Amino acid sequence: MLSFHSLIEQVAAGKIVKGVFIMAAILKNIDFAKVLSLKDSVEYAAGQVVSKTLVQNNGLGITLFAFAKGEGISTHESKGDALVYALDGTGKITIDGKDYEVKAGETIVMPANHPHAVYGQENFKMLLVVAFPEKA
């Protein structure tokens, strides 16, 4: 019998495994079955906002961001509730025109359909989880 690990190795090597159907992984751009630090999974780049998408589908978005000091994402709205978990540094989250300072280890939720923006007051890394409403 073929072990799961062997099956994955064969699929990764491009070999065809007859009679086996494998659904594509939901998560991407991240190692599986490995202890890691999320804040080390995305790097700062001078003068830029760097993002790494881990999941993006109709119901869920999970993205890592690294904001260089002074960089940001301008005011916009999302159809889903957006949870920010600060991984490193300090960021300014603006929701409905009100500013909130978020430091590593802290969380804030940006509610759906409310204008919000993100700004790196210093180098700032965050995990963004957006839960979208079910489609009727």
Residues whose CB falls within 8 Å of the CB of residue 69, separated by 6 or more in sequence, listed in order: 120, 121, 122, 123, 124
d(CA 1, CA 19): 13
Q: How far apart are the first and last CA of the chain?
A: 43
- pLDDT, tens digit, 9 for 90 and up, residues 29-84: 988 889 999 999 999 999 999 999 999 999 999 999 999 999 999 999 999 999 99
The CATH number of domain 38-131 is 3.50.50.60? no
**pLDDT tens across 100-129, in order?**
999 999 999 999 999 999 999 999 999 999
Domain regions of the chain by residue span = 38-131
Q: How would you classify residue 54: left for phi > 0, otherwise alpha for psi between -120 and 50, otherwise beta?
A: alpha
| 3-state secondary structure at position 36 | coil
